[in-house]
C-alpha cells in the first residue's frame, strides 16, 4: 500500500458537507466513488483533515489516500479530475509517508468568512449579505477576545465525537475589502459550527445589539445564545490546513482573489 497527500478545493453548495453519509451527497463520498473507478475496486481509504459543514467551501482541504497503485501522482490527479464534478477539483497530489495522517498530523487550520455589505448577483453562494450597517471597528476589537485558549462549548453544536470543547485560537485577522468584510480565524482545530457562531456574535456586536462584555460572558459560561446567531454556511471557506514545516499564511484577501494564488496556499 502507498499513501498520498491530496490538496482539494471545492464549492460546498451542492453537498451535505465533507464527511461520507449513506443517503446524502458529500465531498468525501464523491471523491471515494471516483477513486473506486480509477483503481478498479482495489482496497482504498480516503481521510480528510476534518469535516466541513453542509454548504461550506474549501480553498484547500487536505486528505490522505491509501491505495496500492503504480500510478504517478500527476497521472492520478488528471484521472481524478476527469471523474469528479465541476465543483470539486484536485489541486495537487504528492507522495506521503505511510504514517502521514491528514487529520492527526495537522497542527492548525485557518478559515475565512466573507460578509457582503451589498446584495450580489454573482456571489450569493459565497458570502453572507447583511443589510444592516456594521461597525467594523467594534467587530475588530471584539474579535481579540477570542484569541488564546478558551472553552468554546457555547459556540459549538453538541458532538459526541469531540472529547474536549477547549480550543486554542492563534489569531484572528479582519479586513475591509471593497464591499466585503473578511474574517480569518486560525486555530488548533474547530468544533462543529464554531466559526459560524463566532462570526454571528461578531456581527451582532457590529450591529450594536451586543457588547464585548456579552462576548466575555459567553466565553466564561455555557450559553445557547450563539446558536441563535449562527452565520450561514455560504460565506465560510476552509482556507488552509497547516502541517509542521509549512509556510505562514499569506495576505488576507477575498476568496475570489485567493483562488488565483493557490500555489501560495498549499505549497511549502
Active-site positions read 53
Per the CB < 8 A criterion, the answer to whether 168 and 149 are in contact is yes
**How many CB atoms neighbour CB 166 within 10 A?**
12
Q: Three cell numbers at 133?
A: 450597517
Nearest to 29 by CA among 10, 16, 13: 16
Left (φ > 0), alpha (ψ -120 to 50) or beta: where does 54 sit? beta
Nearest to 54 by CA among 192, 189, 203, 159: 192
Contacts of residue 163, Cβ cutoff 8 Å, sequence gap at least 6: none
Amino acid at each position: 500500500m502507498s499513501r498520498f497527500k491530496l490538496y482539494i478545493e471545492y464549492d460546498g453548495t451542492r453537498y451535505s458537507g465533507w464527511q461520507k453519509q449513506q443517503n446524502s451527497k458529500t465531498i468525501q463520498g464523491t471523491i471515494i466513488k471516483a477513486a473506486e473507478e480509477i483503481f478498479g475496486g482495489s482496497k482504498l481509504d480516503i481521510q480528510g483533515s476534518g469535516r466541513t459543514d453542509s454548504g461550506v467551501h474549501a480553498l484547500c482541504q487536505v486528505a490522505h489516500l491509501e491505495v496500492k497503485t503504480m500510478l504517478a501522482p500527476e497521472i492520478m490527479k488528471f484521472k481524478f479530475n476527469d471523474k469528479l464534478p465541476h465543483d470539486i477539483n484536485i489541486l495537487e497530489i504528492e507522495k506521503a509517508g505511510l504514517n502521514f495522517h491528514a487529520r492527526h498530523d495537522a497542527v492548525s487550520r485557518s478559515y475565512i468568512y466573507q460578509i457582503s455589505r451589498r446584495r450580489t448577483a454573482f456571489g450569493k453562494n459565497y458570502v453572507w449579505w447583511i443589510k444592516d450597517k456594521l461597525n467594523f471597528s467594534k467587530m475588530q476589537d471584539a474579535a481579540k477576545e477570542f484569541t488564546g485558549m478558551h472553552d468554546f462549548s457555547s459556540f459549538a453544536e453538541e458532538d459526541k465525537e469531540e472529547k474536549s470543547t477547549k480550543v486554542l485560537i492563534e489569531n484572528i485577522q479582519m479586513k475591509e475589502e471593497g464591499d466585503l468584510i473578511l474574517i480569518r480565524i486560525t486555530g488548533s482545530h474547530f468544533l462543529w459550527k464554531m466559526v459560524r457562531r463566532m462570526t454571528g456574535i461578531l456581527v451582532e456586536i457590529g450591529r450594536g445589539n451586543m457588547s464585548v462584555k456579552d462576548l466575555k460572558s459567553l466565553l466564561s459560561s455555557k450559553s445557547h445564545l450563539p446558536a441563535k446567531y449562527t452565520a450561514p454556511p455560504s460565506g465560510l471557506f476552509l482556507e488552509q490546513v497547516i502541517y509542521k514545516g509549512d509556510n505562514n499564511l499569506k495576505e488576507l484577501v477575498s476568496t475570489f482573489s485567493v483562488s488565483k494564488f493557490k500555489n501560495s496556499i498549499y505549497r511549502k
